[in-house]
Amino acid sequence: MYLFDNFWMHFVVFTAIIIVFVFGMAMGFIYIERRGIGRFQIRQGPNRTGPLGLLQPVADAVKVLLKEDLIPAKGDKFIFWLAPIITFVPVFMIFAVVPFQRGALLADLNIGILYVVAVSSVVSVGVFMAGWSSNNKYALVGAMRDVAQLISYEIPIVLSIVGVVLIAGSLSMVRIVEAQTVPFILLQPLGFLIFFLGSLAEVNRTPFDLVEADSEIVAGYNIEYSGMKFAMFFLAEYCETLALSAIIAIIYLGGWNGPWLPPFLWFLAKVFFVFFLIIWIRSTIPRLRIDQVMAFAWKFLLPMALINLVITGIQVLFWQDVLPWPLIFLNVAIMIVLILLWSRMFKLGGGRVEV
């Protein structure tokens, strides 16, 4: 059920809504993160441009757009030009299946969450194109790290989503929200943890931002970019973070469901809550080494995701008619026990390792 019966009217209106929403929220996220991290670090953050520094993202955008657009003399010029587009466009495509409330989305695909996984993986192709076409070793190392990180964390992310799909009985984002009589974060606490941590690695957020580890590889894959092309990479990362926050709000926090407030405001509040968690982690947890990042994916998240999938399958098969509250306490207990056992069985390694 859509808000408009006419297909083209619906397409035009919601395409415009998505563009305004994504750009507006990305600019807001930039401001909130800079101000928020300032508070975490006992300082004010940007406060000079506009009231309370609200126009700082606009000033940054103008500054970046006025910079000279440079292309490496020995780089592949066409691929160098194409890479930011390949990175930026798929992020917008994700929001085609994101429901802001019932009926308020561009397309209600019956494979919505599968579409999100497929489209989001294309971003890594653009990142690798940027690193390879720059004719810069640091850029290439950053791009290779991104590809390795994406492949490693994609598997536990997909396995954690399968648990949600088993409970909801559908791949549609709308049906997943409608199936949440209680938020799936309560029925799938371990799946949520796996999805959240794996997605942080997918969008290169702390502590998994080895793609842009300035202490090792300068700025990573985008070191040779400037001007508008650099701005597209920078904006794409915040749009990816927005997409991550929206997907978590939909599949684990009940989407637009909630009392008293309008549905869209509930969805928006949950998106901001997830983004606050991401800022909090960036402000408090140091960056991991590349070997620790890869070991965390294969030694921790992947086995946990497989165990969570088996447990979820058993519960759906045999305990489907059981009231959710006993399962909530059981799944929380299982998550705590597994995390404690796995942390004792496997170590990420200490000391200094050169990679």
DSSP structure string for 211-236: GG-HHHHTTGGGTT--HHHHHHHHHH
In this predicted structure, what is the pLDDT of residue 355? 43
Kindly report, residue by residue over 83-116, the tens digit of the pLDDT: 999 988 888 889 989 998 887 788 888 888 999 9
245 contact partners, CB below 8 Å, separation of at least 6: 271, 272, 274, 275, 278
Least confident of 7-21, 133-147, 215-229: 215-229
For residue 1, what pLDDT band results from cuts at 50, 70 and 90?
low
Kindly report, residue by residue over 175-202, the tens digit of the pLDDT: 999 988 888 999 999 999 999 999 998 8
For residue 165, what pLDDT band results from cuts at 50, 70 and 90?
very high
Q: Higher-confidence residue: 173 or 138?
A: 173
* Burial of residue 303 (number of CB atoms within 10 Å: 0-12, 13-18, 19+): middle
Q: What average pLDDT does this structure show over 208-214?
A: 71
Has residue 33 got a pLDDT over 80? yes
Give me the residue spans of the domains in the chain: 68-345
* Burial of residue 276 (number of CB atoms within 10 Å: 0-12, 13-18, 19+): middle
In this predicted structure, what is the pLDDT of residue 348? 64
Does this model's pTM top 0.85? yes
Q: Is 349 left (phi over 0), alpha (psi -120 to 50) or beta?
A: left
Gap between the Cα atoms of 125 and 144, Å rounded: 10
In this predicted structure, what is the pLDDT of residue 66? 84
Residues of the chain with pLDDT > 70: what percent?
A: 93
Cα dihedral: 143, 144, 146, 152 (round 10)? 170
Q: What average pLDDT does this structure show over 284-299?
A: 85
For residue 242, what pLDDT band results from cuts at 50, 70 and 90?
very high
